[in-house]
């Protein structure tokens, strides 16, 4: 009898194991093509990680615009037809859920356990402080902080050339200015302590950036849960550092803290959340707000430098806007007061920003499938999607690189998003049909980036100040645009696989 029980138990365990490994999963009628890959449970995860774009292109050639693949124990249905993105983006939260999927990832990479129902707090607070009137305040802070970091030597000494890597230079400045604008400035101890406080801002933000870059480099392996033990130790040290530097009690001693960061702390305090957990959230916000803008600034400046016609058009626009604002930038004059109003007149720069993000922003948008559902495609086809699976779109290959929508998709065309009359172009077509989601650097739907208006402003402010105050050039004007670090597909703005040497000096 006992032997029989053991055999039954072993058999059940074996079947359970095989089930978990995906051995019994079969495509049911009406479902998308299923591709489990060669390895049980792992499925295609190795090839997917090695180069997401190449892999998805291969799958699309093999199966068409909709297919289900096995990735590390999950079945993920990819939707690659941009005309059919609407149902994914707009599907109700009862069927396609973002939070459930994000919660575990957020804990793994930031150590933060989110409370249920806190997503709407982020949305409310972002609506209040990251757009409209709130953005006006933030734009002023950003201008002041960029000026502190970029122009503190202005007029003090004979301008000299400095050589640097363009990527590190752009990331450094934009990260630090963005951080200071959101988390506040060191408070001057006395009236004439203002210069000292500004210097402290420069020094402290520099150390933070240095540590952030280390974390940034660990991020892809961390997100996939494959960080080797030695790196895990390093990660722990970095996390402790961020939780300490960004701790609520420290941020509260600062001046000019943004309403966004302040609100996010306050609401959690009122919810009764442990302070140490709020400190972790502060780090999450730092990563979300600063991880993409600096790399985007790099690509934008590089593309402008490599395309003289873009440089001429954008510099012309900047000079005109400065003139129209009644200001004149001089050696001994006041600093440029770069207002939000001025930034709203930059139609050519807006197009260059949009074009840059089309080329370098590559997020993977993922949802958990909470109920069995039917996916209705634009061409009338329908697919059954199973509860418990995941759905994803990868707009970079799905739409941003589609030659049917964006001819010559790998080329940078600064005016791609301009109509012939100079207004913003928003109409793009595929096979004669209008495409609503023609570029998606900010994601879409429930999880669309709440910082997109501020981020766009940050990029424009940085370029504006570079063009007004600096001369700069590539050390090798003939050098090719660097390749992309393919380990980062899916995580937002891509980074180059090498830096680009350049030099810059103040004009004044």
Q: Which is nearer to ligand HEM, 36 or 340 (CB)?
A: 340
Q: Are 84 and 436 in contact (CB under 8 A)?
A: no
Cα 301 to Cα 307: distance, rounded to the nearest angstrom: 10
Closer CB to ligand HEM, 22 or 291, in the complex: 291
When the beta carbons of 22 and 82 are compared against ligand HEM, the nearer one is 82
- Residues of this chain that interact with ligand HEM (CB under 6 A) are 122, 130, 288-289, 292-293, 296, 361, 363, 365, 441-443, 447, 449-451, 454-455, 492-493
Shortest Å, Cβ 346 to ligand HEM: 16
Residue 108 counted as an annotated binding residue: yes
8 A C-beta contact, residue 370 and residue 96: yes
Nearer to ligand HEM, 398 or 443 (CB): 443
Residue 229, C-beta contacts closer than 8 angstroms, at least 6 positions apart: none
User: What is residue 371's three-state secondary structure?
Assistant: coil
Q: Minimal CB distance to ligand HEM: which residue?
A: 451
Smallest gap from residue 182 Cβ to ligand HEM (A): 6
**Which residue from 394, 392, 378 is spatially nearest to 96, judged by alpha carbons?**
392
Question: Over 214-256, what HEC string results?
Answer: HHHHHHHHHHCCCCCHHHHHHHHHHHHHHHHHCCHHHHCCCEC
Residue 449 is labelled as binding a ligand: yes
- Cβ proximity to ligand HEM: between 239 and 288 the closer is 288
Q: Quick one: how far is CA 305 from the chain centroid? A: 23
Q: CA–CA separation, 222 vs 199, rounded Å? A: 34
Give min distance, CB of 215 to ligand HEM, in A: 17
Alpha helices in 327-422 (DSSP H): 340-343, 347-360, 395
- Residue 273 Cβ vs ligand HEM, minimum distance, rounded to whole Å: 17
Q: Closest distance between ligand HEM and the C-beta of residue 387, in Å?
A: 21
CB of 262 to ligand HEM, least distance (A): 13
CA of 86: how far to CAs of 80, 83, 176, 378, 393, in Å? Answer: 12, 7, 37, 9, 11
Is 66 or 455 the residue whose CB approaches ligand HEM more closely?
A: 455
* Residue closer to ligand HEM (CB basis): 88 or 327: 88
User: Rounded to an integer, what distance in angstroms lies between the CA atom of residue 441 and that of residue 357?
Assistant: 6
Q: Which residues pair with 366 in a beta bridge?
A: 392
- Least Å distance, CB 493 to ligand HEM, is 5
Q: Is the dihedral of CA 239, 240, 242, 248 positive or negative?
A: positive
Strand partners, 470: 506
- Binding-site members for substrate are 108, 292, 390
- Binding-site members are 108, 292, 390, 449
- Binding-site members for heme are 449
């Amino acid at each position: 009898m006992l032997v029989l029980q053991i055999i039954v138990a072993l058999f059940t365990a074996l079947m359970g194991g095989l089930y978990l490994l995906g051995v019994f999963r079969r495509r049911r009628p009406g479902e998308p093509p299923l591709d489990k890959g060669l390895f049980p449970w792992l499925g295609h995860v190795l090839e997917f990680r090695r180069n997401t774009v190449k892999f998805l292109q291969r799958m699309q050639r093999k199966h068409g615009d909709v297919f289900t693949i096995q990735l590390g124990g999950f079945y993920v249905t990819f939707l690659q037809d941009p005309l059919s993105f609407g149902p994914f983006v707009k599907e109700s939260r009862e069927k396609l859920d973002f939070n459930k999927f994000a919660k575990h990832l957020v804990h793994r990479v930031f150590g933060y356990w989110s409370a249920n129902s806190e997503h709407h707090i982020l949305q409310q607070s972002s609506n209040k402080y990251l757009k409209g009137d709130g953005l006006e305040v933030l734009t002023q802070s950003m201008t002041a902080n960029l000026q502190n970091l970029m122009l503190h030597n202005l007029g003090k000494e004979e301008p000299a050339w400095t050589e640097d890597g363009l990527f590190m230079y752009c990331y450094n400045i934009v990260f630090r200015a963005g951080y200071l604008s959101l988390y506040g400035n060191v408070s001057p101890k006395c009236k004439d302590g203002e210069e000292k406080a500004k210097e402290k801002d420069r020094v402290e933000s520099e150390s933070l950036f240095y540590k952030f870059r280390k974390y940034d480099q660990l991020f892809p392996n961390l997100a996939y849960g494959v960080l080797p033990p030695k790196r895990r130790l390093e990660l722990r040290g970095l996390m402790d550092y961020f939780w300490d530097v960004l701790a609520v009690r420290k941020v509260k001693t600062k001046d000019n803290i943004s309403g966004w960061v302040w609100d996010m702390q306050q609401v959690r305090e009122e919810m009764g959340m442990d302070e140490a957990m709020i400190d972790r959230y502060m780090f999450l916000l730092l990563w979300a707000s600063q991880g993409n803008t600096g790399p985007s600034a790099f690509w934008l400046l590089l593309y402008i430098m490599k395309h003289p016609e873009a440089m001429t058009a954008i510099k012309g626009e900047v000079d005109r806007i400065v003139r129209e604002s009644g200001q004149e930038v001089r050696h001994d004059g006041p600093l440029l007061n770069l207002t939000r109003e001025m930034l709203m007149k930059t139609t050519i720069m807006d197009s260059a920003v949009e074009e840059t993000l089309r080329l370098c922003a590559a997020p993977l948008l993922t949802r958990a499938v909470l109920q069995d559902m039917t996916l209705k495609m634009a061409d009338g086809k329908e697919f059954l999607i199973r509860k418990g699976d995941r759905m994803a779109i990868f707009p970079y290959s799905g739409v941003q690189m589609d030659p049917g929508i964006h001819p010559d998709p790998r080329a940078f065309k600064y005016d791609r998003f301009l109509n012939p009359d100079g207004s913003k172009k928003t109409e793009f077509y595929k096979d004669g049909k209008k495409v609503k989601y023609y570029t998606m650097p900010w994601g879409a739907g429930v999880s669309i980036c709440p910082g997109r208006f501020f981020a766009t402003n940050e990029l424009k402010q940085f370029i504006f100040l570079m063009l007004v105050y600096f001369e700069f050039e590539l050390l090798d004007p003939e050098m090719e645009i660097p390749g992309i670090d393919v380990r980062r597909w899916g995580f937002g703005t891509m980074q180059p696989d090498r830096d680009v040497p350049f030099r810059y000096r103040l004009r004044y």
